[in-house]
Amino acid sequence: MKSDLNNIYNNELPHFLNDYFNYLSTIKGCSVATIVAYTADLSLLLKFLKMYKGLAPSEKDLPLEEISINDLTLDTLKTLTLQDLYAFVSYLGKSRANGNYAKARKIASIKSLFKYLTTKAKVLNIDPTIDLESPKLGKRSPVFLTLDESKSLLDAATSRDKHSIRDHSIIALFLNCGMRLSELCSINISSIKSDTLSIIGKGNKERTIYLNKASLSAIYEYLPVRNADNEKIHVEDKDALFISGKFGRINKRTVERIVKKHIGNAGLNKAKYTPHKLRHTSATLMYKYGNVDIRSLQEILGHENISTTQIYTHVDNDKLRNAVKSNPLSDE
């Protein structure tokens, strides 16, 4: 992922975009993945504008992806209108087959850039995106494992494979703690204190995860196996909890492969379930069986906005069924 970030700054982008990405990285604490996504979205917008507004007559026959944007200045953005932006949104749907979710993400990227340019950098006086609306999005229910499927997955990870104890510990933490993939990879042994774990979450924010009995058991069963190879572990990764077969801190792609492997071993759909879906599973099980209120669940998951957490209030059909049955007229 570091190479991805280097590629961003090695490419010839407009000066104002590089300034914006520096702001996202150093001030907002955005991850490399977020900045890479913003780069793709905003570069596409600028390439479209050059084509749409006839700013690249020498490049008019080039595919959009090959149009250069390093020569664009803030003067180009000063002429931007709401109609230009809606033309871009129309292009996304007609020429790139983007659905509403993809369009909404790109619109969010554009709004964020112009908010920075007008309110932080203060190099633009007018924000043309203020009245730019996003397409309506239908509510999507999270994909998650049932309780029985979760138990099957944990059983499947308990095999004779040489990494099975590590893999079981990884899956146990996903299912019990609801942490993100990046958070799991970043766990340090020194950050585990009694039944708490301090991690750096989304937006470079520190948060505390509380470890239940199953989580602690999985960690302490794995530690002797991990420490048996302590002399081989890379010096810079000595504090990392989860170690790869190459004796370095485990990375996200390796964890994704581990989850996919054991999902398959459990007889479940490998294409349907990912580490993020295990996070959904943990949240759903806590809400359904643990009687956890929505505010507590928000804290556990590290959601900045409670609307993100509210998707879990729509997954429990049993609660809805029981609510209807509790109507005093139900037996009449």
Q: Cite the active site residues.
A: 180, 202, 276, 279, 303, 312
Q: Answer yes or no: are the C-beta atoms of 132 and 107 closer than 8 Å.
A: yes
Q: Residue 328 — φ and ψ, nearest 5°?
A: -60, -15
Q: Strand 192-193: give its sheet, edge to edge.
A: 192-193, 196-200, 206-210
Name every residue whose Cβ is closer than 8 Å to that of residue 40 and which is 6 or more positions away in sequence: none
Residues forming a β-bridge with 198: 208
Helix axes 164-177, 147-156, angle to 10 degrees: 160
Close Cβ partners of 179 (under 8 Å, ≥ 6 residues apart): 173, 199, 209, 279
Contact 287, 315 (CB under 8 A): yes
Q: By three-state DSSP, how is residue 115 classified? A: helix
